[in-house]
Structure 1
Amino acid sequence: MIKKILLLAFIAFSSLTMVAQTTVTGTVTDAKTGETIPGANIKVSRKAVGTNTDFNGNFVLKVSNNPPFTLEISVLGYKMEKVEITKNNQKLSVRLKENETSLDEIVVSASRTPERIMESPVTVERMDTRAIKNTSAPTFYDGLENLKGVDVNTNSLTFKSVNTRGFATFANTRFMQLVDGMDNSSPALNFALGNLLGMSELDVKTVELLPGASSALYGANAFNGIMFMTSKSPFEDQGISTSLKGGITSQDAAGNNEYYDFNVRMAYAFSDKFAAKVTLSYLDGTEWHATDYRNTRSRQFIAGDRNSDRNYDGLNVYGDEVSTNLRGVAETLESLGILPSGASSLVPSESVSRTGYDERDLMSYEAKSVKFGGSLNYRPFGDDRLEVIWNTKYGVGNTIYQGTNRYNIQDFFMEQHKLEFRGKNFFVRGYLTSEDAGNSYDSRFAAININRQWKDDNTWFGEYVGAYVQSTLGGATSDQAHAIARQTAETGRLIPGTPGFKAAFDKVTADPDLVTGSKFQDNTKLYHVDANYNLKDHIDWAEFQVGGSYRLYSLNSNGSIFTDNDGPIDYDEFGVYTQMQKKFLEDDRLKLTASIRYDKAQNFDGNFSPRVSFAYAAGDNKNQNFRASFQTGFRNPTTQDQYIGLNAGRGFLVGSAPDNLDRYKTQPLTVSGSGQQFTGSPTVSISGRMAYENAFSEASLRAFGGAVATGVAQGMTSQQAAFANAGLLKSANVQLVKPERVTAYEVGYRGLVPAGDSRITVDLSVYYNIYEDFIANKNVVVPFYGTVNNFSGNPNTLPTDVNSQILLGAISSEDYTAFQTYTNSAADVSSYGASIGLNTRILDGYNLGVNYTFSKFDFDQASDPDFQAGFNTPEHKVKVQFGNPNVFENFGFNINARWQDEYRWEATFHEATITARTIIDAQINYTVPSLKSVFKLGGSNLTGNEYLSAPGVGAIGSQYYLSWTINN
């Protein structure tokens, strides 16, 4: 497909020409400074014919139109000028007036209709080509972090997660990202992999970001916010552009490593009816190495390492999650006659873990991204009444994703194909998203099963216990016996870097069965259709829009992620909406926007999402805007929330779709010798249904275990302590997951405030969100035998029924396994916050911007003790920008500084407090008009103080770059 598109595009480039009848030449300058403006668009009104000014602000336009006709001259940041062409060879001198403020820029996303940011009924953040040129960040995607109220969490060098208004995760399923109207989230993983497979920087026209709920217009998952990335049209932005960026990344753990980022864009309008473009991007570098070896044995950081803690479980060490109680192993060996009678009494009731492998022994750490995009654009009438667009995107890359485990995303491939019909007042589009996980794998299971390649768990722990008993009988102390036991069990261990380790690694990472391998297998597809029609040409008393969407998922992981062992799982959802916008009062100063949407997903009841907003424009030039809005949002449970069936090492993950519960069963789990009388078998398989209907809550099990340990320390037998504290064990009673909802209230102000000879742009918003049915994970423990719902344990009362005693026996024998279930929290959750941005010009041309964001959440922990909200957002953030794009002729600079305070990160991988940080980025740029080039030298995190976005990721160091961009 790529070859066909390229062939078609280049044949057309070389063979088609326009027959010129009229020639217009001219120069475009800034009305205030008199400086020429490169890159201004010159086009025939309502036609797809045009050109751009060169680096000296000059242009030559040859068209087939005969005078008279009208030219439109425009460029971002300036007001459009229209000029009447009355004769051939007319020469123009056009002076463009700069927009009074950035709030004069036009956005479409807020109401699905063009309007000034100043008049938008909701908060809008925006980045355009000028901002991309001036950003001090290494890429435009990194530069989003400098926008007000925006958080960017760095998972790895090439995978960054954008979020607004809290509840952030790397798999940020509450935030939607659209590229030319296409959701570029992975259909199986349910989130966008940053810009790994997104848009070329040279092709970005605008990025519009709406913080907060947007479901009334955009449906499910536009919950915390939505981002729109729009590419340049080949009709309006023609020519060949290239960008070569190179530099180094610097980190204590990884050292200094080179990286390269190359982009090329080619676009051409062959006539006023047909245009095409192609883009290609290539990035290669080294990921941030993750080397946090702190002990996480109790899901919290505790003292000890492998030398001091026999049950050590390092954060970035994998394979050491495999742990068992030595006394239980000894009892089994004794019952089989392998150990002599009474030998088990010599073995302590103590858990020991296998020796794991460091992450850097398991990851390639090669960051790579290759992206190709192309579009064929056809306007049958030669104007903007109708445009037919075929858009294709391909991407393949390597990155690292941290979810329940750390995943090496290797050769991940995703493609999107879109057919769109678009006019002035409507669009209809359909697209396909397809992915292939390539050679991706789970690093935790890679380590676990590499260990099992050279020695299975039963053999390893059996040798450990046997050596411990022999050493103890020989007079060794307990510490000496443990040392000898581990040395004995480790005989034959595969050492990283050796051929044996490489062979085992290759075998395990190519095997999708998590019992023996670690390969992440996926060929999931998504089909989506949506449409919108604006009725303004038919109804004049108000502006009405109607629209809808349909989406079909086809899950296909061959049983490696979902419970689709017997074939793909298909399910669908749809939505319809309408919006009315009406202006009132003199000069249309008051604008009412009201919309409502209905959505229905296959596994859930239908949902209505209303939105109402008011915006009032005060002041002589309508430059004082006050707004208030009420809107709702909802989020459907993801594909994983519903259909996952996965062994995550520390527990099993099972989705709660009704047809998923019985489809998932664990691999055989070993039952203790004493427990086999209840199961009649040495192994059991646990179904997903048991996790939801026959389980204790994990929190109650921890409380019970702590109380039993205290009782034993006080002189009670373990059985007495268990009976005395049985009432602490609570049934989990997990309900099946359903959509979560948010009701959002917001007020805001945008305006211009006089400040001496200049004016300050003010953008202020305050919001309050109330959540219902917050989607949450609940960790539960399923006993291998006994009926949990009939458990009769009460505080200070000995359970006398047989079932309860059987259950206590299962707990004491560790005959249980952990599950992560998907449900809704009963907790009362709310969040609130405010942001303010101030921008002005000082010292005759220097831009100064400051913004502050406050974010907070509340919930009643007592209403759901097991619930982790995962707000994962700093309470205070301050961002400062200072620069001048034209300090002197052709030279500019920009500096960005960000500070945020510490915050708590809660996630399935681990939780910890993330320390406060201050980051400084800076760049200088120089334009060489004769070469049509811009050179930029810059760096991020210039202080060199490394920081973490979350526990478990690689520490983020500094990045330095030099880029050369040619626009022809």
Structure 2
Amino acid sequence: MRIYFIILSLFFCGLSFAQNTISGTVTDANNQPIPGANVKVVGSSTGTSAGFDGKFTLKNQNSFPFSLEVSMMGYSSQTVVVNSKEQEIIVTLSEEATSLNEIVVSASRTPERILESPVTIERMGLKDIKNTTAPSFYEGLENLKDVHFNTSSFSFKSVNTRGFATIANSRFMQLVDGMDNSSPALNFALGNLLGVSDIDVASVEVLPGASSALYGANAFNGIMFMNSRSPFVKEGISTYMKYGQTSQTTAGNNPFYDFGFRAAKKFTDHFAAKGNFSYLGAKEWIASDDRNVSNGALDGGAIGHANNQNYDGVNLYGDEVTTFIPNVGQVSRTGYREQDLTDNKIESVKADFSLHFKPWANDFEIILQHKLGFGNTVYQGANRYALKNFYMDQTKLEVKGKNFFARVYRTAENAGDSYDTRFAAWNVNRAAKSDTEWFTNYATAFQLSQAYLGSSASQAAAIGRNYADYNNLPTTAGFNTLPQFASAPIGSPRFEAGSAQFNQALATIIKDPDFTKGAKFQDNSKLYHADVNYNFKDLVKFAEIQVGGSGRQYVMNSYGSIFTDYTEPLKYNEYGVYTQIQKKFMEDRLKFTGSVRYDKSKNFDGNFSPRISFTYGAGANKQHNLRVSYQTGFRNPTTQDQYIGLDLGPFALIGSAPENLTRYVETRSVSAAGQALGNAATVTLTGENAYYKAYTVESYKSYAAARASGTPLATASSLLVVASPTLVKPERVQAIELGYRTIIKDFSVDLNGYYNKYNDFLSQTNTIAPLYGAIGTADAATALDNGDRRTFNVYTNSKAVVKSLGVGVGLSRKVYKNFELGGSYNYSQFDFDQSTDPSFEAGFNTPKHRAKASFGNDKLFKNFGFNTNVRWNSEYLWQSTFVDGMIPENVVFDAQINYAIPFLKSVIKVGGANLGGKDYIQVLGAGAIGQQYYASWTINP
């Protein structure tokens, strides 16, 4: 970090050039200052922003007279003529009735009012960021219509729009200053861990629907743009300090800290620079769900091994290791709580530095930017991963002008000391006693306690577990001297959580990347990206035409711990080109937008994504805007879908790239019964066994039930169905959207409805492969009977056609003076024919009903404002590779009050999230979200 502070210290050592200097003030109709108002010389790129007191100073080389354009989101722009340096410049901006007049760029890659956007779009500007009730602007995005969050950790939240999202939301793209900040290995955005700080964010735009026509494969169900503030416009040193407390039933009350600073300097009209640093420290929302899991879903079964000898708690790990013992039943090992396997400390550090060059007196700009983020958090995928000292950085070179941009950037990540908590628990258990020893101990004590003590099944289970865990036996005379105990392998007693033995074993295991005895998560992957866009609007007059394209290379390097990159990193490329045309008709009331994009990825055929939309402005002032659009989207299989090769113990994840099937290899042991049939003691399996030499899980369950009821092998084997998962290909969506927006005096309305049809939905399914015997033969069925089988989780496309639809309603108005009331409602649902793909889980993971409301006044009286938000969602089904089950409905209330201190250029804010509410969950398996209370001090916001 030293280099950042050295460079920042040089910001204020630049030379000044002889220039005209003018000063002025920007206020609203109540003569209150408007901090952050943009002031720009018309016809040039020279500009600045108003300070906390509304005052601005602008140095420029223009000769008098010249014009200034003064603007601010939420206010009508004003233009004033400046005739001399001595002129007193006071600009009064009128507040707009609604945010629908704000200008956005993302919907069409060209500036346009939200009111005229051809698709649904949500926006958060500087005013909204200041007034957010959430502890950070990113968390405040959840109060936008059409936005739903999936929270894996205190600092790891993913955005969900239009459904079909887990924490790993690879159907949603997130851009920060034009850079995709998704993980190169995981292919989804890591929340705001490599995003923008609260004092540097300028605006956020969210497009909830398919956006592949302009933005490519991953913009499948939505895209978000986070834009930072330019040092040419916002200069000076800004800082914030935030202290608060979290409260959760499991974790108790704990402090959290959040602070950061921003330094920016415009040395001349041609050169500026800025740097940012922020730090967050907190206690994790501890995951402590102890409900029982069976076949990957909550089953309402008995909780705890005292009541269930095959207990598998959601957030207890180690108890997934299970086996069937004759005359005893299915038994699982004793697990460890997640909170005992990690220190539950959250840290997030973000820093960035950028140099900005404007060689000429126009909008041409060259930007060199470097961003980095590192820290500790928790990610939930198939397992729960403790991300410790992970690191991710991005470096960008961008050239942009009035009608074009071109950028190249690189994203790199390093997993640091991250590890899989489930494997950590398994191998801490095995460090004390092998699975074979433990189950042998259990079976011995269980059966002898019944034979010699007359124990009931529950008593025998308790005795068996006590002996297997701690080598303890009942004190009944003679029982502990039986020769069966003396000859049984005993091993070491269980390592109690927090003990010296436990801590030493855990410390060793989380540094070992071999999952047979370790838990370390390795990743040093990279992503290289380039894109370009040109708008011909100054060259072609009959319509606005744009062309552009992008190219990307993934370099996957997990050292064989995640992907099948055993000997060298894996590389693959993809590229895309697009064009768009916009044309207005009927006195500019009707606007047509048409675009199409072609994309090609290494392992798949090329794909076209068209979009057509019409918007019409009705009414005398075109204030009634109606729109209709048809667009298609596609999503390429992720790096995991194609190249993962991860042994998770009970099953292995196998990606379906053709070369991946032969590259993945594992060795499995054959039972004594299987060896008695003439089979070798071990067999070698590849990914081809998972895809081509296996049975469906559903048919295996039917077969196993038939065999358990005494059905002969020949008859029962007719129930087995050969699995036939296809190799993955891109999934596709066709989307139709209708919308209506209007502004009537102080009242705004935003309505939208959509219908999506998905084909080739990317999914995962389990297969059961026998260790010997050809598929369809009696030998293969015998292998299943002997337990000589392997479960695989494979990536494929569902045969089901999935349909979803939704409606969104957004309303806002000034109800009295500056009091503003807003509300929104979203209805979402999906449907498919389960019989077309019995094992398919859509993973919609979105409430059918959501309602949100806000009420506030940022000018209640001089320098004082407040805001409140409330959110409600109905109960909904959660499906993931970790666990399936229901998410209860919840209500969340947030509020804040803020007070400005002009002479200190400061704002004090006090607020809270989930005030008075109960702990609630958004992700099964993640920690319940408690309450947050905070106070912040921001200087020069």
Instruction: Give the TM-score taking structure 2 as reference length.
Output: 0.95
- CA 1:698–1:461: 2 relative to 1, 3 Å: same
**Contact 1:289–1:954 (CA under 8 A) maintained in structure 2:** yes
Q: How far apart are the structure 1 equivalents of 2:938 and 2:18?
A: 31
Q: How far apart are the structure 1 equivalents of 2:87 and 2:451?
A: 105
Q: How far apart are the structure 1 equivalents of 2:693 and 2:919?
A: 46
Correspondence for 2:599: 599
Correspondence for 1:875: 848
Q: How far apart are the structure 1 equivalents of 2:727 and 2:785?
A: 29
* Aligned residue among 921, 938, 951 for 2:894: 921
Correspondence for 2:830: 857
Q: How far apart are the structure 2 equivalents of 1:166 and 1:622?
A: 33
Report whether the alignment pairs 1:446 with 2:424. Answer: yes
Correspondence for 1:769: 756
- Gap regions ≥5 residues in structure 1: 328-347, 713-717, 792-802
Q: How far apart are the structure 2 equivalents of 1:309 and 1:38?
A: 62
**Contact 2:891–2:917 (CA under 8 A) maintained in structure 1:** no
Correspondence for 1:172: 169
Q: How far apart are the structure 2 equivalents of 1:373 and 1:619?
A: 47
Higher alpha-carbon deviation: 935-944 or 6-15 = 6-15
Correspondence for 2:772: 785
**Contact 1:547–1:578 (CA under 8 A) maintained in structure 2:** yes
**Contact 2:630–2:734 (CA under 8 A) maintained in structure 1:** yes
Structure 1 residue 222 displacement after superposition: 0.4
Report whether the alignment pairs 1:681 with 2:680. Answer: yes
Structure 1 residue 35 displacement after superposition: 2.7
Report whether the alignment pairs 1:23 with 2:1. Answer: no
Correspondence for 2:477: none
Report whether the alignment pairs 1:398 with 2:395. Answer: no
**Residue 806 of structure 1 aligns to a residue in which SS?**
helix
Q: How far apart are the structure 2 equivalents of 1:770 and 1:63?
A: 54
* Aligned residue among 721, 729, 747 for 1:760: 747
- Equivalent AA in structure 1 for residue 242 of structure 2: K
Q: How far apart are the structure 1 equivalents of 2:675 and 2:228?
A: 64
- Equivalent AA in structure 1 for residue 824 of structure 2: N
- Equivalent AA in structure 1 for residue 739 of structure 2: G
Q: How far apart are the structure 1 equivalents of 2:679 and 2:237?
A: 73
Per-residue deviation, residues 148-202 of structure 1 (Å, max 9, x unmatched): 1110111111000101111121000000000001000111111111112211111
Structure 1 residue 318 displacement after superposition: 0.4
* Aligned residue among 415, 423, 429 for 2:407: 429
- Equivalent AA in structure 2 for residue 376 of structure 1: L
Correspondence for 2:152: 155
Correspondence for 2:519: 518
Per-residue deviation, residues 285-344 of structure 1 (Å, max 9, x unmatched): 0110111111113433232221121111111110111111223xxxxxxxxxxxxxxxxx
- Equivalent AA in structure 2 for residue 761 of structure 1: S
**Residue 220 of structure 1 aligns to a residue in which SS?**
coil
Q: How far apart are the structure 2 equivalents of 1:110 and 1:576?
A: 17
- CA 1:315–1:403: 2 relative to 1, 3 Å: same
Q: How far apart are the structure 2 equivalents of 1:312 and 1:607?
A: 47
**Contact 1:894–1:923 (CA under 8 A) maintained in structure 2:** yes
Q: How far apart are the structure 1 equivalents of 2:316 and 2:453?
A: 34
**Contact 1:124–1:209 (CA under 8 A) maintained in structure 2:** yes
Q: How far apart are the structure 1 equivalents of 2:93 and 2:542?
A: 34
- Equivalent AA in structure 2 for residue 940 of structure 1: A
Report whether the alignment pairs 1:206 with 2:203. Answer: yes
Correspondence for 1:373: 352
Following TM superposition, the consecutive aligned residue runs of length 4 or more in structure 1 with deviations greater than 6 angstroms are none
**Contact 2:328–2:447 (CA under 8 A) maintained in structure 1:** no
Report whether the alignment pairs 1:737 with 2:712. Answer: no
**Contact 1:48–1:273 (CA under 8 A) maintained in structure 2:** no
- Equivalent AA in structure 2 for residue 890 of structure 1: N
Structure 1 residue 962 displacement after superposition: 0.4
Correspondence for 2:267: 270
Correspondence for 2:486: none
Correspondence for 1:815: 788
Q: How far apart are the structure 1 equivalents of 2:56 and 2:308?
A: 73
Per-residue deviation, residues 815-846 of structure 1 (Å, max 9, x unmatched): 11111000000012100011010110011111
**Residue 808 of structure 2 aligns to a residue in which SS?**
strand
Q: How far apart are the structure 2 equivalents of 1:121 and 1:15?
A: 45
- Equivalent AA in structure 2 for residue 19 of structure 1: A
**Contact 1:273–1:383 (CA under 8 A) maintained in structure 2:** no
Q: How far apart are the structure 2 equivalents of 1:29 and 1:12?
A: 30
Correspondence for 1:548: 549
Report whether the alignment pairs 1:751 with 2:742. Answer: yes
- Equivalent AA in structure 2 for residue 776 of structure 1: S
Q: How far apart are the structure 1 equivalents of 2:423 and 2:164?
A: 28
- Equivalent AA in structure 1 for residue 208 of structure 2: P
**Contact 2:41–2:69 (CA under 8 A) maintained in structure 1:** yes
Q: How far apart are the structure 1 equivalents of 2:221 and 2:497?
A: 43
Q: How far apart are the structure 2 equivalents of 1:98 and 1:472?
A: 82
**Contact 2:800–2:832 (CA under 8 A) maintained in structure 1:** yes
- Gap regions ≥5 residues in structure 2: 471-492
Structure 1 residue 619 displacement after superposition: 1.5
Per-residue deviation, residues 4-57 of structure 1 (Å, max 9, x unmatched): 45434432422322434x332322222x33333233222323444444333332
Report whether the alignment pairs 1:409 with 2:387. Answer: yes
Q: How far apart are the structure 1 equivalents of 2:878 and 2:73?
A: 39
**Contact 1:55–1:930 (CA under 8 A) maintained in structure 2:** no
Report whether the alignment pairs 1:557 with 2:555. Answer: no
Per-residue deviation, residues 910-958 of structure 1 (Å, max 9, x unmatched): 0111111111101111111111111111001112211111221111111
Q: How far apart are the structure 2 equivalents of 1:12 and 1:632?
A: 47
Correspondence for 1:696: 695
Structure 1 residue 116 displacement after superposition: 0.3
Per-residue deviation, residues 648-696 of structure 1 (Å, max 9, x unmatched): 2331000000010011122x32212121245632222321111000111
Q: How far apart are the structure 2 equivalents of 1:735 and 1:762?
A: 46
Q: How far apart are the structure 2 equivalents of 1:550 and 1:260?
A: 40
- Equivalent AA in structure 1 for residue 14 of structure 2: S
Per-residue deviation, residues 528-577 of structure 1 (Å, max 9, x unmatched): 00000001121110111000000000000001100001110000100000
**Residue 496 of structure 2 aligns to a residue in which SS?**
coil
Correspondence for 2:938: 965
Per-residue deviation, residues 677-734 of structure 1 (Å, max 9, x unmatched): 456322223211110001111122223333444xx3xxxxx353x5443332211111
Correspondence for 2:613: 613
Correspondence for 1:493: 494
- Equivalent AA in structure 2 for residue 657 of structure 1: A
Correspondence for 1:337: none
- Equivalent AA in structure 2 for residue 459 of structure 1: E
**Contact 1:542–1:581 (CA under 8 A) maintained in structure 2:** yes
Structure 1 residue 465 displacement after superposition: 3.0
Q: How far apart are the structure 1 equivalents of 2:398 and 2:339?
A: 45
- CA 1:679–1:646: 2 relative to 1, 3 Å: farther
Q: How far apart are the structure 2 equivalents of 1:362 and 1:413?
A: 21
Structure 1 residue 349 displacement after superposition: 5.5
Correspondence for 1:145: 142
**Contact 1:49–1:269 (CA under 8 A) maintained in structure 2:** no
**Contact 1:678–1:785 (CA under 8 A) maintained in structure 2:** no
**Residue 673 of structure 2 aligns to a residue in which SS?**
coil
Correspondence for 2:818: 845
Structure 1 residue 93 displacement after superposition: 1.8
Report whether the alignment pairs 1:284 with 2:263. Answer: no
Correspondence for 1:589: 589
**Residue 686 of structure 1 aligns to a residue in which SS?**
strand
Number of equivalenced pairs:
916
* Aligned residue among 225, 230, 238 for 1:228: 225
Per-residue deviation, residues 765-791 of structure 1 (Å, max 9, x unmatched): 111001110001011111111222xx2
- CA 1:50–1:579: 2 relative to 1, 3 Å: closer
**Residue 462 of structure 1 aligns to a residue in which SS?**
helix
**Contact 1:297–1:314 (CA under 8 A) maintained in structure 2:** no
Higher alpha-carbon deviation: 410-419 or 675-684 = 675-684
Identity of aligned residues (%): 53
Correspondence for 2:480: none
Correspondence for 1:576: 577
* Aligned residue among 285, 292, 295 for 1:295: 292
Per-residue deviation, residues 239-291 of structure 1 (Å, max 9, x unmatched): 11111111011001000000011011111110000000000010000110111
